[in-house]
Amino acid sequence: MIPWSAAVHRGGYRRVVAVTSAQSGKTDSMLDIIGARLDQRPAPILYVGPTKEFLTDQFEPRLMALLDEADTLANKVVRGRRMKKTLKHVAGVRLRLAHAGSSTALKSDPAALALIDEYDEMMANVKGQGDVLGLVEARGETYADFVTAITSTPARGLVEIEPDEGSGLEFWARSAPDDVESPIWKLWQEGTRHHWAWPCKHCLDFFIPRFKQLRWPERATPSQAKQAATLECPRCGGQHGEADKVWMNARGAMVAPGQTVTLKDDAPHVTGAPADSSTLSMWTSGLCSPFVTWGQRAETYLTALQSGDHGRIQTAMNAGFGECYAMTASGDVPDWQEIMERLINGVYTDADGMPVGYCAIRKDLFRHEEEYDVRARDAAGRPRVIHIFEGAPGTHRGISPLVPALQVARQFDQLADATLMAAIVQTLFAVTITSDEPTEQVLQGLLTPQEQAQMLAQGVSPMEAYIEMVAGYYDGSTLDVGINGRLAHLFPGQELKFHTSNHPSSDYAAFAMHLLRELARCLGLTYESATGDNVGATYSSLQAATTEIFAITKARRRNIMAPFCQPIFEAWLEEEIEAGSLPFPGGIAGFMANRTAACRAEWRGDPRPQADDLKKAKAHEVWKRLGVMSDAMICTDLGADVDDVYQQLAQEQALRAEYGLPEPQMMGAQGGGPAAAEDTGDEVEA
């Protein structure tokens, strides 16, 4: 914390952010900054703690001990009535102590220096007035050299490692905002992103210590890991013991991406410039803390890991190592490049075949398609993509239930179109006139040579002469089969015939019903509900069909609809609790710690359709009387909750008593009404 404290005191940056583990001296460093500023350059100071209890019970007594024990400050403190728990007057300036839950204290006094402690534990919106950082920085607008110093252990976040080609160091990469839940980490990656680096005692190359370099014997117990924990250099593989920590800290340095560091004359030498930013951000691993050993860190982590409690594992990672925790991974996050190699049908999978991301396609401003990747879950384990399908084991994409119905639907359309066309064609007809009259050769045989020669001289053939004779006949006769519908007698020896098209098959109704039954089955419906055709249906047939189809409905409700609705319900519930609209023990922190239990839900849906409610009621009555069916089972069969039913019955009973109304006839002790024992006759078909 010394580089961070020096940077705050030196100034030059609008924000100075420090991310590290617990027990790393964050609060002591803030006290040092306050004391140095009041002694050397007195100016109004605003300190913001996470809670009122922390402020009054822990920080204020330590602050007073500093002011009383420092010889240069003890005589500058104004004591008496003007001294309060949250307001001190030192060297003629105000020192205000505020907590994140008080918007009034955060907006009360201007300040030249603001210090925010444990930023991740503060609420995102202070009583509708805005975030803590925004309210605090508004207090320093009147001071040109105003500095905000912010420290905290991180919370949840999905953060990866990226190597720097110039220095060979492995830095934390910038993560997408949706992948990081920790507020302090978001501030840190907005800044210069300095990392505390150590030199290796074996190869003298610098490396950045983090959790993944901590080593202990395989299958070691927490106590065994405590005794045998070491730190491995990622450059040469050299092992370091706890005794080497002092030597490495003494020669360590803050290094940002774009900078290089070497060990010269037994001291770190940093070259290059960090990224241009008004925020100086620093990260230090909890392994660098002089107050906690590596063995204690390993023991705490393994103990939490054995418990299987994500809350304890997160605490071990956040408070123990100063690293973000992702519920999708314990410790180091899998290399995304390895996951890229396991892309199956647009789904990225881990080594166990579980989906961890998706490759989607969207259109840009120019309507061109572009691919982009979406992680399956965010840092808190919330699903970012609802991935639901029914498929065989080992598959990652399903086939829509509508697919088998498409072919049947097309066949039905083709049948309907063909039948309609046949019906239209049948409205058309053709008319022909047939005759037994001889052909031209016969006609020539009936003429004498003189007659044939005469007709030849006139240029008329025997057939032409015959047709001319028939035409002359019809000039005096009318033949109309159109609009008027008149018909006269034909020329002697002729016959009138009508011709129509014939349908190839008369089984349209049976075949259409077959296709509709197949289509309804593919859709998970009964034929009657899909078509509205109840001709020939009986109670027994409807009951049997509904029972079989409802099994498909329940399976789809359980495997498709419930998984689809559950994450939406969880997101809504979390948002309502965080906004304060829905009270929950412990607030949003209590909800996140008990998320699984708090989000338990049963998605019932509508009950199974009944063809005859009276018969179903009698069936429930018989099962109840036999003692094999409970009220809860009956309510479930009717799509109701037994608790809701009992509550409603109790309310109605109280209302009847209030208004003096008689009680309705209820079921007897044996499960039936008074007349149930006498009803032994056969049921009558409805």
* Coil vs helix vs strand at 581: coil
In whole angstroms, how far apart are CA 410 and each of 419, 517, 521, 522? 14, 14, 15, 13
Q: What is the pLDDT of residue 308?
A: 75
Q: Shortest CA distance to 324 belongs to which of 180, 448, 431?
A: 180
The kind and range of the H/E element at 359 are: strand 355-363
Q: What is the pLDDT of residue 243?
A: 92
126 pLDDT above the threshold of 60:
no
221-234: per-residue pLDDT in tens?
Answer: 999 999 999 999 99
| Strands 347-349 vs 87-90: parallel, antiparallel or unpaired | unpaired
Q: What is the pLDDT of residue 494?
A: 67
Q: What is the mean pLDDT of residues 627-650?
A: 89
103 pLDDT above the threshold of 90:
no
Q: What is the pLDDT of residue 357?
A: 84
Q: Helices marked H in 475-612 — which ranges?
A: 508-523, 527-531, 539-556, 562-579, 587-593, 595-598
Angle at 328 between CA 324 and CA 330, to 5 degrees: 60
Q: What is the pLDDT of residue 501?
A: 64
Q: What is the mean pLDDT of residues 426-440?
A: 66
Backbone angles phi, psi at 196, to 5 degrees: -80, 120
Tell me how far apart the alpha carbons of residues 324 and 317 are, in angstroms, rounded to a whole number: 7
Higher pLDDT, residue 538 or 127: 538
Q: What is the pLDDT of residue 282?
A: 94
Beta bridge partners of residue 349, listed in sequence order? 355
Instruction: Tell me the domain boundaries of the chain.
Output: 334-399, 429-500, 612-686
Tell me how far apart the alpha carbons of residues 346 and 389 are, in angstroms, rounded to a whole number: 14
Q: What is the pLDDT of residue 230?
A: 94
Q: What is the pLDDT of residue 669?
A: 40
199 pLDDT above the threshold of 90:
yes
Tell me how far apart the alpha carbons of residues 683 and 540 are, in angstroms, rounded to a whole number: 13
> Is the CB of residue 136 less than 8 Å from the CB of residue 48?
yes
**Exposure pattern of 140-160 as b/e (b: 16+ CB <10 Å)?**
beeeeebbbbbbbbbbbbbbe
251-299: per-residue pLDDT in tens?
Answer: 999 999 999 999 999 999 999 988 889 999 999 999 998 889 999 999 9
Rg of the Cα atoms in the chain: 45
Q: To the nearest whole percent, how much of the chain has pLDDT over 70?
A: 84
Structure tokens of 343?
Answer: 């892309």
Any idea which of 41-55, 102-116, 556-570 has the lowest mean pLDDT? 102-116
645 pLDDT above the threshold of 80:
yes
* Coil vs helix vs strand at 184: helix
329 pLDDT above the threshold of 70:
no
Q: What is the pLDDT of residue 533?
A: 82
Q: What is the pLDDT of residue 398?
A: 75
pTM of the model: 0.58
Query: pLDDT-derived band of residue 26, with 50, 70 and 90 as boundaries?
Result: confident
Higher pLDDT, residue 525 or 296: 296
Q: What is the pLDDT of residue 488?
A: 55
Q: Helices marked H in 427-507 — which ranges?
A: 440-446, 449-457, 462-474
**DSSP helix, strand, coil percent of the chain (3-state; round to 5):** 40, 15, 40
Any idea which of 103-107, 443-447, 561-565 has the lowest mean pLDDT? 443-447
Query: pLDDT-derived band of residue 670, with 50, 70 and 90 as boundaries?
Result: very low
Q: What is the pLDDT of residue 250?
A: 92
Query: pLDDT-derived band of residue 683, with 50, 70 and 90 as boundaries?
Result: very low
Taking all residues of the chain, what is their mean pLDDT, rounded to a whole number?
81
Q: What is the pLDDT of residue 484?
A: 52
Structure tokens of 87?
Answer: 């307001």
Tell me how far apart the alpha carbons of residues 356 and 599 are, in angstroms, rounded to a whole number: 22
Q: What is the pLDDT of residue 570?
A: 92
Any idea which of 152-161, 217-226, 379-388 has the lowest mean pLDDT? 379-388
> Is the CB of residue 206 less than 8 Å from the CB of residue 198?
yes
Q: What is the mean pLDDT of residues 68-78?
A: 86
125 pLDDT above the threshold of 60:
no
Q: What is the pLDDT of residue 482?
A: 54
Tell me how far apart the alpha carbons of residues 154 and 314 are, in angstroms, rounded to a whole number: 10
Q: What is the pLDDT of residue 336?
A: 54
Higher pLDDT, residue 46 or 458: 46
Q: What is the pLDDT of residue 284?
A: 93
Three-class DSSP labels, 645-668:
HHHHHHHHHHHHHHHCCCCCCCCC
Backbone angles phi, psi at 476, to 5 degrees: -100, 0
330-382: per-residue pLDDT in tens?
Answer: 444 455 556 667 788 888 887 777 888 888 888 777 777 888 778 888 767 78
Tell me how far apart the alpha carbons of residues 133 and 138 are, in angstroms, rounded to a whole number: 9
Tell me how far apart the alpha carbons of residues 278 and 640 are, in angstroms, rounded to a whole number: 60
Tell me how far apart the alpha carbons of residues 12 and 145 are, in angstroms, rounded to a whole number: 8
Query: pLDDT-derived band of residue 478, with 50, 70 and 90 as boundaries?
Result: low
Highest-pLDDT range among 167-181, 187-201, 388-402, 465-479 = 187-201
648 pLDDT above the threshold of 50:
yes
Structure tokens of 36?
Answer: 């140095």
Q: What is the mean pLDDT of residues 91-109?
A: 79
Q: What is the mean pLDDT of residues 588-605?
A: 85
Query: pLDDT-derived band of residue 673, with 50, 70 and 90 as boundaries?
Result: very low
Question: Strands, DSSP E only, in 118-252?
Answer: 147-152, 161-163, 170-172, 194-199, 206-207, 214-215, 230-232, 239-240
Residue type, 356: V
Q: What is the pLDDT of residue 201?
A: 92
667 pLDDT above the threshold of 70:
no
